[in-house]
Amino acid sequence: MPEINSADRNNFVDLPGELEEALTRIGKALPEWGMDGTFLAASTIERYRAELAPVPQFAEAMATLRAKLSTAGAGFAVVRLGNIAAALGEEQFLRLTTAIIAEVAVPFQPLQRYELWKPIGTKPGKDPNMTSGTGYQAHHIDLVNATMPPDYTVLLCIRPDPLGGGASIVSDARAAVERLTKTSRDLLAEPVFSYGQFFELADVGEEFRPFPVLDGEPHGRGFVRFTGKMLTQSGMGEPHANAAQELAAQLIAGQKTFTLKGGDLLFLNHHRVLHGRQALGEGQHGVAPDDRRLLLQLFLRDSSQPS
């Protein structure tokens, strides 16, 4: 599969060689991060920013990234950090990656069993439709059933699928909604949808069940609260199910696909886009566990958003 299929190449951020070299030098000396509950500690963010601020071209690269991630932009971007990953050990690379992410919004991990980064590995024996399974992952926002989902999801590719599968899919949710009939939009605004369980979570509000797909909030604050998995599990009536199916079809029609490489850092703005993944390549049982696809995930809270 090509590295980039239908994704706009402008949504990929390649760092100049001089910037890569400077970030590699800084990454070798960044201190361990600290946590304040589920959030990256403010003292850590201040320290990391102080280290990165003087780096030539860094501010410009971050301004470019933030523009791409905005609701006025595409709502997603991939920062290519493969060269830096190859030059640093895993621990120092994660510190540098965390420092870069903190330039966008405040990193946090609402899934309480993890400290900051959550590993998403590959388990061939698991339900294929689950996160670490090998099957297709339909479009969704993470923590769809929380009253305050994260503003951003971040996915760091440690290892791509050696069998060539697992392409990321991203779709502009707002554009998909605009293509719906008014009847479907009205049905999706009704709080009759549900999905998933709610436990061992923090700093994402309360359980939202049932919820509307369209919350009526401005684009920069509200969500298209959707997951393709609810199409078979929500227990909704036929009119609402048809409206949700119509939205799913529009998301697929408008999706962009691309295959992450090692060191690629994918940012997703939950207020603008939904994301998912194509199935992994066949034959995962024959791949050694340490060679299978591995991503790391964390979430971001925009401090400008109302709590």
- Number of Cβ within 10 Å of residue 256's Cβ equals 19
Q: Is residue 3 part of a domain?
A: no
Report the alpha-carbon angle 121-227-201, nearest 5: 65
Residue 22 resides in a domain? yes
This model's pTM is above 0.85: yes
- Whichever domain contains 268, its CATH number is 3.60.130.10
Does 24 reside within a domain?
A: yes
Question: What tens digit of pLDDT does each residue of 233-292 get?
Answer: 657 889 999 999 999 999 999 999 999 999 999 999 999 999 999 999 999 999 999 999
Residue 107 in domain: yes
Q: What is the pLDDT of residues 37-63, one digit of tens each?
A: 999 999 999 999 999 999 999 999 999
- Nearest CA to 188 among 247, 104, 121, 271? 247
Q: How far apart are CA 85 and CA 7, in angstroms?
A: 23
Residue 6, in any domain of the structure: no
Assess if residue 264 is contained within a domain.
yes
- Structural domain for 259, as ranges: 11-301
Tell me if 33 sits within 8 A of 47, measured CB to CB. Answer: no
Of 43-47, 94-98, 162-166, 192-196, the poorest mean pLDDT is in 192-196
Give the per-residue pLDDT at 234: 59
Cα gap 24→26, rounded to integer Å: 5
Classify residue 131: in a domain, yes or no: yes
Count of domains forming the chain:
1
